[in-house]
């Protein structure tokens, strides 16, 4: 009796461990990569915050195979006139590189460019007066450049 109970318990435990391991592997699998990518490339500040948190912990997202590389603001200054645009440019690069890799760039370019502009404007919201106006003008220029040449 004890032997059968022990065997049944061991089999049940092994089955449970297998189910949990399979569920954990499925949770980590990049099955919903497109959904994660979309959630990190929206125009909202929460989307930006989620992307920034993931960027700071890239290893946790390794199964997704995202391209985190960036040249920041390409051939434009990363921090024009002292305005810190580099992270906005990094997120823009993230969107461009990853949507190009999935073959869906053209369907998403407009939103990526709009998200970039919203990110830049959020940077500018940290200023006031003439400095904010200058920042917003610079943001507009960067946005127009990516719309035309990005």
> Using one digit for the tens of pLDDT, what is the confidence trace for 124-133?
999 999 999 9
pLDDT of amino acid 18:
34
pLDDT of amino acid 138:
98
Q: Which one is catalytic: 36, 92, 94, 139?
A: 92
Closest CA to 66 of 100, 42, 43: 100
Q: Residue 78's pLDDT band (boundaries 50, 70, 90)?
A: very high
Give the chain's mean pLDDT. 86
Active-site residue 2, yes or no?
Answer: no
Residue percentage of the chain with pLDDT more than 90: 79
pLDDT of 28 above 80: no
Torsion over CA: 98, 102, 103, 105 (sign): negative
pLDDT of amino acid 9:
37
Mean pLDDT of 10-27: 37
Mean pLDDT of 32-61: 97
Mean pLDDT of 82-99: 98
Q: How far apart are the first and last CA of the chain?
A: 72
């Amino acid at each position: 009796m004890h032997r059968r109970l022990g065997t049944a318990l061991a089999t049940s435990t092994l089955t449970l461990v297998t189910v949990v391991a399979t569920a954990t592997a499925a949770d980590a699998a990049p099955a919903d990569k497109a959904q994660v990518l979309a959630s990190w490339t929206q125009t909202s500040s929460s989307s930006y915050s989620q992307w920034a948190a993931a960027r700071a912990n890239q290893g946790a997202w390794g199964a997704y195979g995202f391209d985190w590389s960036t040249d920041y603001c390409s051939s434009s200054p990363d921090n024009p006139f002292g305005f810190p645009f580099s992270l906005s440019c990094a997120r823009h690069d993230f969107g461009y590189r990853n949507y190009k890799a999935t073959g869906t760039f053209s369907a998403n370019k407009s939103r990526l460019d709009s998200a970039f502009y919203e990110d830049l404007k959020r940077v500018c919201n940290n200023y006031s007066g003439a400095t904010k106006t200058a920042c917003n003008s610079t943001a507009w220029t960067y946005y127009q450049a990516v719309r035309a040449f990005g």
